[in-house]
């Protein structure tokens, strides 16, 4: 998979994709990340990428031309079309389902906005979708793009070992994760639940499932399907 990121702060990403799962994915050549400086596609010698808003108002708006020129240039260099997403607080909420959907694309291009916003023609005529990572306003799309890349990268086949980890991620669409413990079994008098030391795999599986459901009912009931929300047999 190839992910392009179009930004006016290319150095913002210097460290962020070197570590952990994303770093591994790049090392294994399962993921290629290309950071593109939007200013390279400005039309004037000052490399201007913003202008005052029509209709007045505070702040500056990012101009459409550099975005269109950049996308056209990147597209010419590729055999396959990019799926293009604009990071914006007005976008649809990013979640595990969307991460999975994006991980199936072979070419993904993330457009980072700044200032007070981006000319609406970029969202309407260039991007295939707008993505928000949450109901808060960041000072730009770069942090949001890094979040999207991380969540997507770990779902690319072969990036996380064939074990359970990614299966649990898909479980995350409907429920929170169960609590995890490691040694020591007794830390300052706080003991690990006996069932986890029992060696009884079926009992452990059931305990984990029930714990995950209980946590989800308490903290994120919106994630639950109807049958899980009912909470039959729950002791809390």
Catalog residues that contact ligand ADE under the rule CB under 6 A: 87-89, 132-134, 136-138, 140-141, 144
Phi, psi of 117 (to 5 degrees): 160, -175
Identify which of residues 131 and 160 has a Cβ nearer to ligand ADE in the complex: 131
List 129, 169, 209, 210, catalytic entry:
169
Identify which of residues 87 and 149 has a Cβ nearer to ligand ADE in the complex: 87
Q: Omega before 11 cis (within 30°)?
A: no
C-alpha dist (Å) from residue 96 to 22, 40, 73, 181, 196? 17, 33, 31, 24, 28
CB of 72 to ligand ADE, least distance (A): 23
Tell me whether residue 169 is one of the annotated catalytic residues.
Answer: yes
Identify which of residues 66 and 91 has a Cβ nearer to ligand ADE in the complex: 91
Could you give the CA distance from residue 219 to residue 104 in angstroms, rounded to a whole number? Answer: 30
Identify which of residues 137 and 197 has a Cβ nearer to ligand ADE in the complex: 137
C-alpha dist (Å) from residue 161 to 59, 101, 151, 152, 157? 46, 19, 15, 15, 9
Longest dimension (CA), the chain: 70
Identify which of residues 136 and 190 has a Cβ nearer to ligand ADE in the complex: 136
Buried (b) or exposed (e) across 147-176, using 16+ Cβ within 10 A? Answer: bbbbbbbbbbeebbeeeeebeebebbeebb
Tell me whether residue 95 is one of the annotated catalytic residues.
Answer: no
User: Which residue number has the CB closest to ligand ADE?
Assistant: 144
Token digits for 176? 């929170």
CB of 146 to ligand ADE, least distance (A): 11
Tell me whether residue 101 is one of the annotated catalytic residues.
Answer: no
Tell me whether residue 116 is one of the annotated catalytic residues.
Answer: yes
List 26, 39, 47, 89, catalytic entry:
89
CB of 103 to ligand ADE, least distance (A): 18
CB of 184 to ligand ADE, least distance (A): 40
Is-contact 51 61, C-beta < 8 A?
yes
Minimal CA–CA distance to 150: which of 36, 33, 35? 33
CB of 113 to ligand ADE, least distance (A): 6
Minimal CA–CA distance to 182: which of 174, 192, 171? 192
Annotated catalytic sites, by residue? 89, 116, 154, 169
């Amino acid at each position: 998979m190839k992910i392009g990121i179009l930004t006016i702060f290319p150095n913002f990403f210097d460290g962020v994709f070197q570590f952990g799962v994303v770093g591994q994915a790049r090392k294994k050549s399962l993921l290629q990340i290309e950071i593109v400086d939007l200013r390279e596609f400005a039309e004037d010698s000052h490399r201007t990428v913003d202008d005052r808003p029509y209709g007045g108002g505070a702040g500056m708006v990012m101009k459409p031309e550099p975005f269109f020129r950049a996308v056209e240039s990147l597209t010419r260099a590729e055999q396959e079309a990019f799926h293009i997403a604009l990071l914006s607080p007005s976008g649809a909420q990013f979640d595990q389902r969307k991460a999975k959907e994006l991980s199936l694309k072979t070419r993904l291009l993330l457009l980072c906005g700044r200032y007070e916003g981006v000319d609406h023609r970029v969202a309407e005529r260039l991007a295939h979708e707008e993505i928000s990572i949450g109901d808060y306003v960041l000072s730009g799309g770069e942090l949001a793009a890094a979040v999207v890349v991380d969540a997507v990268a770990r779902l690319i086949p072969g990036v996380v070992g064939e074990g359970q980890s990614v299966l649990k991620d898909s479980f995350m669409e409907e429920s929170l994760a169960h609590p995890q413990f490691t040694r020591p079994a007794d830390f300052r008098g706080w003991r690990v639940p006996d069932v986890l030391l029992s060696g009884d795999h079926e009992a452990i599986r059931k305990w984990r499932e029930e714990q995950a459901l209980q946590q989800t009912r308490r903290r994120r009931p919106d994630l639950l399907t109807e049958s899980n929300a009912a909470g039959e047999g729950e002791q809390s």
